[in-house]
Amino acid sequence: MSENILPSCISLPLSGKELEEIVSKAKDYALMHGICMRSKANFNPDNLQFAPFVLTPSLYPRKEFEKATKLQIILNKMIHNVAHDVDFLRETLASTIKVDDFTASLFKIYETVLSEGVAQEISLGLVRSDTMLETRKSCFSKSTCMPSRSFYCCVAMTITLGLLRSDYFVSDRNKILQVEFNTIASSFAGISSQFREFHSYILQELGHDDKVKYLPENNALAGLCDAMVEAWKIIGDDKAAILFIIEDVTYNICDQRFHEFYIREKYPHVKVIRQSLTEIFKEGKLGDNKTLIVGNVTASVVYFRAGYEPGHYHSENEWAARLMIERSTAIKCPSVHYHLAGTKKVQQALAKPGVLNRFLNDENEIKQVKEIFTGLYSFDKGEGGDETVKMVLEKPENFVMKPQREGGGNNIYGVDIPERLKAMDETERSAYILMERIFPPISKSYMIRPGGPNPPPIFDMVSELGIFGAIIGTKEKILYNRQVGHMLRTKVSSANEGGVAAGLGALDSVYLTNEF
């Protein structure tokens, strides 16, 4: 078998009758256990369909999985320190805010709050760092040693403000490298926490009870929710609520509601309310001492599941609501400076020589973080932008251009880059960074989607590992720092994007192996 193809955890393909029966059971299990979403194509708030899933769990090197989970604590601390470094954010985003209206609007709120005096020094970070495995045995310098393969996957390091997640890639064969760090609305902790039991059921039904032990525990939902309640306790107002900021229409409803239901079940004295930014503008106000009041309820913790893309701000009203929240004494997840710390431009700046020393003071920790960075380059004129353009035009298939956006579907890949670059002037291209693509190993299994073919075909797929983290603290002191769980998203190897909520990928489980 090729070194770039991971074997399946069970023998595939399944026989026709066996496949038909297990797919039917898997769909029903998903529907009856909340592994579901609302349909974007045929939206009805009263209807759910199962979320896309991979039928059998995907192999993952135990060593790299454990590396990613252990590293998350360091990444939490790193991004927390980045978010609280005013000069660094100003310097790093100076060119971006000239050409990116969305980031500029966030930065305007940031500067307003700084000028008025920050009402709440404590931030809650619920983040996710996203990574992928790299099959190439080479460093990531100036597009050298690039493979001739046509498939690839590019993972993102995602940091969710308040709830963190990190994703990684590796610079040696089948080791992790970081794609993105999410600092706002890091999703799928709720549904991913169901997947160990889901795939345990599938394996047992197929007669592979002995393989269940290779599926690691996943307490992502509990970890994120416990951190929200920990922040709520810090404020100390027993009558205050945790406020979820939501979209006007929520498709990923089960994942969001699982957070609310967990809090209400484990902490029945803690109230949870849900409001859109539009509703906050109409019903919210600042009370005495800048407390945030929504209707007749004080909100002491704000958890953003919306607000990460321009489409969530329909008018100046939504921006006014965001500013009001930032001016309040509520603990924000994320606060606006955490949101800015999760931009792609900051990610690119952190990869520059010597920059990590500004945020981490332990040489071993700095070394561990550096090892997961892939090639990241600036398009800014004063930062070698012309050299970056020349490099990508020579071999565009080895790169991806990323704007300052979350939510998927915003990147420019490979052969599409030259035409888009030629249409931009030097200022416009500063809204993007350039990242070297990661070439992960291929796995094979069935991807089950609502309305998909029956029987389903076996696909060549690639996976992205996200590690969730939770951190609470001020600029001076970290009060709480945890790695809390993980998620695995898998997509067809020929696809550029892989977001489940965006309809481009499927949820999966890690099946740990010592073989790679």
Say whether 108 counts as a known binding-site residue: no
Q: How far apart are CA 377 and CA 401, in angstroms?
A: 10
**Options 187, 378, 398, 509, the catalytic residue:** 187
Q: Is the peptide bond before 13 cis (omega within 30 degrees of 0)?
A: yes
Catalytic residue among 77, 171, 174, 180: 180
Catalytic residue among 38, 77, 128, 345: 128
Return d(Cα 261, Cα 264) in angstroms, integer: 5
What stretches of 154-221 adopt beta strand conformation (E)? 157-160, 163-167, 175-183
User: Does 344 count as an annotated binding residue?
Assistant: yes
Please indicate if the annotation marks 358 as binding a ligand.
no
Set 175, 271, 305, 402: catalytic member: 402
Active site annotation includes 344: yes
- Establish whether 228 is an annotated binding residue: no
Length of the chain: 516
182 labelled binding-site residue? yes
Q: Which residues contact 301 (CB under 8 A, 6 or more apart)?
A: 124, 228, 231, 232, 235, 240, 242, 243, 330, 331, 332, 333
Is the bond preceding residue 456 a cis peptide, omega within 30 degrees? no
Query: Which residue among the candidates 332, 406, 429, 485 is catalytic per the annotation?
Result: 406
Is 410 assigned to a binding site?
yes
Give me the catalytic one of 190, 365, 489, 499. 489
Check whether 437 is labelled as a binding-site residue: yes
- Alpha carbon separation from 510 to 35, 57, 262, 486, 489 (Å, rounded): 17, 6, 23, 9, 10
Question: What is the C-alpha separation between 413 and 20, in angstroms, rounded?
Answer: 37
Known catalytic residue: 260?
no
Whole-angstrom CA distances from 143 to 5, 138, 394 are 23, 10, 10
Active-site residue, selected from the candidate residues 58, 76, 171, 182: 182
Query: Strands 157-160 and 163-167: what pairing?
Result: unpaired
Q: What angle do CA 89, 92, 98 make, to 5 degrees?
A: 105
The answer to whether 464 is a known ligand-binding residue is yes
407 is catalytic: yes
408 known member of a binding site? yes
| Distance spanning both ends of the chain, measured CA to CA | 13
Q: Which of 344, 345, 429, 482 is catalytic?
A: 344
Annotated binding residue at 307? no
Is 404 annotated as contributing to ligand binding? yes
CA–CA distance, 415 with 398 (Å, rounded to integer): 9
Q: 475 labelled as ligand-binding?
A: no
| Number of C-beta neighbours around residue 228 at 10 A | 28
Does residue 409 have a known ligand-binding role? yes
Nearest to 414 by CA among 504, 495, 506: 495
- Known catalytic residue at 476: no
Strand-strand pairing, 175-183 and 157-160? parallel
Under 8 Å between Cβ of 100 and 106: no
Which amino acid, 414? Answer: G
| Six-digit token string for 74 | 């360091």
211 annotated active-site: no
275 is in an annotated binding site: no
411 is in an annotated binding site: yes
Q: Are 224 and 254 in contact (CB under 8 A)?
A: no
Annotated active-site residue in 295, 384, 407, 503: 407
Q: What is d(CA 500, CA 37) in angstroms, rounded to the nearest whole number?
A: 10
Reported as type and span, the H/E element at residue 254 is helix 253-266
405 is in an annotated binding site: yes
Q: Is 182 one of the catalytic residues?
A: yes
| Positions marked active-site | 128, 180, 182, 187, 344, 402, 406-407, 489
Residues annotated within the binding site for Mg(2+) are: 180, 182, 406
Binding-site residue positions: 165, 180, 182, 256, 344, 402-411, 413, 435-438, 464, 489, 491, 497
List binding-site positions for substrate: 165, 256, 489
Q: Summarize the annotated binding site for ATP as residue ranges.
A: 180, 344, 402-411, 413, 435-438, 464, 491, 497
